Amino acid sequence: MSGFHILKCTEVPQYDALQSAAAEFQYDDKLHLRNLCNDSSRCAGLTAVHMSEGFRKIILDYSRQQVTGETMEMLFDLADAVGFAERQEAFRTGERINTTEDKAVLHHMLRMPKGYLFSGGSHGLADKILEEIHTVRDQVVIFSEQVRSGTHLGITGKPLKTTLVVTCGGMHLGIEFVSEALSADVTAAEAAEGRSIHFLSNVDPVDTFQTTGHLDPEETLIVIVSKEFDSGETLNARSAMKWLIQRLMKTGNYTESQIIAKHVAAVACINSNFSKSAPGQLGIPRNNIFKIWDWVIGRYSVCSAAGLLPLSLQYSGSIMTQFLDGAHDMDEHFFNAPLRDNIPVLLGLLGVWNSTFMGYSSRGILPYAHALRKFPAHVQLVDMESNGKRVALDGVELHHSSGEVNFGAPGTNSHHPFFQLMHQGRVVPADFIGFMESQRPLDLPGENVPSHDELMSNFFAQPDALAYGKTFVDLMQEGVEEGLREHMVFTGNRPSSSILMTRLDAFSVGQLLALYEHRTAVQGFLWGINSFDQFGLELGKLLAKHVRVQLAASRRTGATVQGFNLSTSTLLEAYLANGKQQKNV
Amino acid sequence: MSGFHILKCTEVPQYDALQSAAAEFQYDDKLHLRNLCNDSSRCAGLTAVHMSEGFRKIILDYSRQQVTGETMEMLFDLADAVGFAERQEAFRTGERINTTEDKAVLHHMLRMPKGYLFSGGSHGLADKILEEIHTVRDQVVIFSEQVRSGTHLGITGKPLKTTLVVTCGGMHLGIEFVSEALSADVTAAEAAEGRSIHFLSNVDPVDTFQTTGHLDPEETLIVIVSKEFDSGETLNARSAMKWLIQRLMKTGNYTESQIIAKHVAAVACINSNFSKSAPGQLGIPRNNIFKIWDWVIGRYSVCSAAGLLPLSLQYSGSIMTQFLDGAHDMDEHFFNAPLRDNIPVLLGLLGVWNSTFMGYSSRGILPYAHALRKFPAHVQLVDMESNGKRVALDGVELHHSSGEVNFGAPGTNSHHPFFQLMHQGRVVPADFIGFMESQRPLDLPGENVPSHDELMSNFFAQPDALAYGKTFVDLMQEGVEEGLREHMVFTGNRPSSSILMTRLDAFSVGQLLALYEHRTAVQGFLWGINSFDQFGLELGKLLAKHVRVQLAASRRTGATVQGFNLSTSTLLEAYLANGKQQKNV
């Protein structure tokens, strides 16, 4: 795979044109958003609407981004020049676009309906993969309905109403985002009546203590989600299983394998030699294992059994089918809509513009929906692990920083933590996400507006506040005291996108998931990087192993600390000395 | 207050020297952290230890920051040159350093022990304030013990085991951080046995639905925390009280005021005309109100009744006294230790160095402690709302961006979301925070090390991985396949600080709170800004009011949307049209 060349956005003529355009936005007051937003003909062009079933809409209004119609044309040209359409098509048709690991990237296939007519690519292979995907989807539905209906009971005969998802690192973030987003949706909440879902993800034993602390093992089904059962995932699986088995053994004369058969399932890559595999070694029976494939990437795994099994247990297979349909709807939009109407493409191009040309290094994800409070953390995972790269696909070092620091919080909770800095400190391009309907409307007598309107007043107001700002002259005219005016000036000219959707339910949660997955992919395609590997995690893992070996040796045999620099040795010695003092575990 | 001049760090000769030094770090390979970290004499100097009661330590190791001993001397000189010591002393002695609002900043007084001998400043005034603080502290302890012991019961005679903290914006973040941090501490957990604490903070009615959904109103005490009862806080207070009152009225023949007297308390600024005040208007009796003062700033309010009342209800007054003692211990360290040994000063100077001189715009907060999972969100609030400013205290525009984007997640959960980007993408200076002892040690048979050692292996390894990186030559020598080497190169030279503490309990949670409050203050003092006002929140509030008025008029009388730009009008019309279709609330 060496020796090839990939065209990067920095290598095409449009790059220089865009750089010049970006420079103009820095000094030309005519290009201040205050002026741009008052130009109605410009604004009318900077919007896109995606309609889907049930008259639901996604409206993207990007008129408060620091772009004009011409900037957008240059960005579309840039995409054409680097061969965006070919890259997107290679992704769609299952080419091995993850070249460093020689794998195809197929998470869009996870949400294709049964018998989907796949155009282009290697049909036979695609049909076979889709069939396998649906085999597992069916298995997930059958198993989760058995548990939900009480056909599959816990070992003491109680229904398994609690799902404990055990994983390590980041795979819980997407599942948790979806689970929280659906928890206040009326239909999904009804389906989840009496059930609950919990996550154990940190190797810190405090997580095990806190997460299992309130659970009843007799009612708990553990779902271990782990592609490869590495050390952290295995540790968490063993911690959770130890808690479960010890507690259940006290309730009756059961063997470990009897308990595991009823109370432990796993989602894993499994090979032919099952008994020697990690889940096999943990004693989990083959029938309780749900397959994911080597091509499933942790951060893009929510639509595989990794997400579907726990979420179907909580919300039912039929709710999760709506979720998958929503994600598929966004896939179809992404692969088929022209660039100018294509919401993930527009968001991705604006991401590249803000990051590579305008020089903004972070990005706010601001859902005006409390139910999306776990969404920013999931976007962090998807975007930062995908696009925080040093080199292009061909191994050549990038001429720009790729990836942005994504951060956010829901609704009005974000105001105090972020908005002082976003209005008067650093420029942070932001995505405002809002909904026309509330999952749980509330209209208190005596209030001017229903609570959802109160919330949404902020969704509509903040982007304009960021764009327009407030001048010294405004403050003078308002009669603000002399010494205070400078402190109350808002420079404005701070870019944002507004995404207004009809309602938040299983279908639209699926759309949102896929929308932000594809936004990240678009940026990767433009930059010419591999958004689907993650070699940046390896070095830390390797060095942690050295420390672990040292700690084990020092704890057991009092071995002296060696092989580290002075600082690390000193810290390790302080750590070990304290352990000796207090006769640690 | 106009016309005065404040010396900024950009105006003193040390600024230019530090700029030159920073430039050298960009290109001089001798200053790569790989080389700096192998220089034992340098590393030995870049550490500070704070000892306090019970042999507990805080070790700050900043040898993996891109500094030498000389850089630090220049930073100390910079602090001297801008008059850091005077600014710190003015803070300590209660001068009105929040000049734009003409207020003193006194949150350190909130944790002074009774009868503390206050040196310097206006003694009489300080003594009076401290007396008032302790009067309220005593009231909090008495009330919380009445509730905890069952002397004060709910209206149906049940103990009030559940505290529902109602606020809006950010004030819950500090309380939630402390509450989560203590929840796995053995002593604190015992004190909280059978009790729980919940937070309603978002005006989104979904928050009310989700938060109250699982609570039993008969056992719930609502604590409204609001300095000024603005529209959002009042809305949330009314939502929560409506839920409580409606539900309790079904259990017996009670009046609203009977229910409120037993089930609602508030922490608020109150003036002489109580019956006309917001809490008075809500029907909360005077005896259920705990005072905060106008000088208490939301983000610095955890040690006031705002935090103490809910946390004492959950954990007892005696646990919270340990917490206050920890915060006070850090205050004493901050106000008395020489700059070179002063941990908040060192962290603040490094923050200024990384941000203003090295040009890094964000900062990772990475506690290797699951119990600190809410700490990064609190630091976001404290730091970004305090230091995201446009102008200096004298109203002069800053020559640099102030404030950093702070973000983070606990322990190993942060690896996948952040570490790819932090190792191979953008440079993000990070604080690693770890503990020598686990709150809940776990040693699984068959594992190489106890779980806490597994966790801490990462704490010790990641900073070195970031600093050293891995070269192309390393990879060649390891025999990595040709086309992959570039993808597996880590440039290293990524700065971090390691903070190793003895254990996580009420005392050290107090220390951590004060440490990060003072770190932020140090940066503000260096930059010459006001870290204690927040005018940047005003414009959004004002524009939201316009939108609210429009929505109310359109909902009620069908008034057409006007007074907004085309984009906002279009979005508002789509929003209102959908409301009409579905005959909204």
pLDDT one-digit tens code per residue, B323-356: 999 999 999 999 999 999 999 999 999 999 999 9
pLDDT at B68: 98
Phi, psi angle pair for A265, to nearest 5°: -125, 165
pLDDT one-digit tens code per residue, B85-131: 999 999 999 999 999 999 999 999 999 999 898 777 666 778 899 99
Residue A301, domain extent: 123-319
CB count within 10 Å of CB B72 equals 20
Domain boundary among B513, B535, B557: B535
Which residues from A are below 8 Å from B442, CB to CB?
Answer: 205, 208-209, 239, 585
User: Percentage of chain A with pLDDT > 70?
Assistant: 98
Q: Is A112 part of a structural domain of the chain?
A: no
Cβ atoms of B61 and A567 within 8 Å: the answer is yes
DSSP H or E run through A62: none
Q: For residue B562, is pLDDT > 90? A: yes
pLDDT at B54: 78
Catalytic residue among A218, A385, A404, A517: A385
A176: annotated active-site residue: no
| Confidence grade of residue B270 (pLDDT, cut at 50, 70, 90) | confident
Q: Is A114 part of a structural domain of the chain?
A: no
pLDDT one-digit tens code per residue, A423-463: 999 999 999 999 999 999 999 998 999 999 999 999 999 99
Which residues from B are below 8 Å from A430, CB to CB?
Answer: none
Same domain assignment for residues A229 and A350: no
Q: What order do you get walking across the sheet with B162-166 strand by strand?
A: B196-200, B162-166, B220-225, B264-268, B289-291
DSSP B155: T
Which residues from A are below 8 Å from B585, CB to CB?
Answer: 438, 441-443, 450, 452
Same domain assignment for residues B171 and B266: yes
| Confidence grade of residue B275 (pLDDT, cut at 50, 70, 90) | confident
Same domain assignment for residues B371 and B464: yes
- Alpha-carbon distance of B552 to A225, in angstroms, equals 48
Cβ of B584 and A450 within 8 Å? yes
CATH number where A292 lies: 3.40.50.10490
For A452, the closest of B205, B413, B439 (CB atoms) is B205
Catalytic residue among A416, A481, A482, A487: A416
Q: Which of B208, B399, B539, B551 to mutate to test the interface with A (most CBs of A within 10 A)?
A: B539
Q: Is A327 part of a structural domain of the chain?
A: no
pLDDT at B122: 64
Q: Is A224 part of a structural domain of the chain?
A: yes
> Which residue in B has a C-alpha nearest to residue A383's C-alpha?
B417
- B281-315 per-residue burial string, b: 16 or more CB within 10 A, e: under 16: ebebeeebbbbbbebbbbbbbbbbbbbbbbbbbbb
- CB neighbours of A420 closer than 8 A, spacing ≥ 6? B384, B385, B386, B388, B389, B534, B536, B537
Q: Is B1 part of a structural domain of the chain?
A: no
Q: For residue B524, is pLDDT > 60? A: yes
Same domain assignment for residues A342 and A477: yes
| Confidence grade of residue A585 (pLDDT, cut at 50, 70, 90) | very low
In the predicted model, what is the mean pLDDT of residues B234-258?
96
Same domain assignment for residues A169 and A282: yes
> Which residue in B has a C-alpha nearest to residue A391's C-alpha?
B487
pLDDT one-digit tens code per residue, B486-515: 999 999 999 999 999 999 999 999 999 999
For B426, the closest of A209, A405, A411 (CB atoms) is A405
Q: For residue B584, is pLDDT > 50? A: no
Active-site positions of B read 385, 416, 541
Q: For residue B401, is pLDDT > 80? A: yes
pLDDT one-digit tens code per residue, B146-190: 999 999 999 999 999 999 999 998 999 999 999 999 999 999 999
In the predicted model, what is the mean pLDDT of residues A477-496?
96
Which residues from B are below 8 Å from A204, CB to CB?
Answer: 368-371, 410-412, 438, 451-452, 455
For B575, the closest of A423, A456, A538 (CB atoms) is A456
Same domain assignment for residues A391 and A263: no
Q: For residue B11, is pLDDT > 50? A: yes
In the predicted model, what is the mean pLDDT of residues A417-422?
97
Same domain assignment for residues A204 and A280: yes
pLDDT at A273: 83
- Alpha-carbon distance of A247 to B141, in angstroms, equals 38
Same domain assignment for residues A188 and A166: yes
Cβ of A536 and B453 within 8 Å? no
Q: Is B136 part of a structural domain of the chain?
A: yes
CB count within 10 Å of CB B504 equals 25
Cβ of A537 and B415 within 8 Å? yes
pLDDT at A125: 79
pLDDT one-digit tens code per residue, A328-378: 999 999 999 999 999 999 999 999 999 999 999 999 999 999 999 999 999
For B574, the closest of A37, A443, A500 (CB atoms) is A500
How many domains does the structure of chain B reveal?
3
* Alpha carbon of B220: minimum distance to chain A alpha carbons (Å): 19
* Mean per-residue pLDDT over chain B, rounded: 95
Same domain assignment for residues A379 and A492: yes
In the predicted model, what is the mean pLDDT of residues B379-384?
98
DSSP H or E run through A302: none
pLDDT one-digit tens code per residue, A116-133: 987 776 667 788 999 999
> Which residue in B has a C-alpha nearest to residue A565's C-alpha?
B38
Catalytic residue among A541, A545, A546, A580: A541
- Alpha-carbon distance of A275 to A259, in angstroms, equals 18
A428: burial class by Cβ within 10 Å (0-12, 13-18, 19+)?
Answer: buried
Q: For residue A1, is pLDDT > 50? A: no
Q: For residue B465, is pLDDT > 60? A: yes
- CB neighbours of A177 closer than 8 A, spacing ≥ 6? A372, A374, A375, A377, A378, A513
Which residues from B are below 8 Å from A447, CB to CB?
Answer: 235, 238
- Alpha-carbon distance of B375 to B377, in angstroms, equals 5
pLDDT at B247: 97
Same domain assignment for residues B215 and B137: yes
Same domain assignment for residues A409 and A512: yes
Domain boundary among B262, B290, B319: B319
Same domain assignment for residues B164 and B259: yes
A24: annotated active-site residue: no
> Which residue in A has a C-alpha nearest to residue B34's C-alpha?
A565
pLDDT at A581: 61
Which carries the bigger pLDDT value, residue B122 or residue A511? A511
* Mean per-residue pLDDT over chain A, rounded: 95
In the predicted model, what is the mean pLDDT of residues B51-78?
96
**DSSP alpha helix (H) spans, A408-450:** 420-424
DSSP B338: -
Cα atoms in the 13 Å half-sphere on the side-chain side of B522: 27
> Which residue in A has a C-alpha nearest to residue B1's C-alpha?
A483
pLDDT at B1: 45
For A442, the closest of B205, B210, B549 (CB atoms) is B205
Q: For residue A506, is pLDDT > 50? A: yes
Q: Is B328 part of a structural domain of the chain?
A: no
In the predicted model, what is the mean pLDDT of residues B441-461?
96
* Alpha carbon of B290: minimum distance to chain A alpha carbons (Å): 23
What is the DSSP track for A339-405?
GGG-HHHHHHHHHHIIIIIS---EEEEEES-GGGTTHHHHHIIIIIHHH--SB-TTSPBPSS--S-E
Q: Is A482 part of a structural domain of the chain?
A: yes
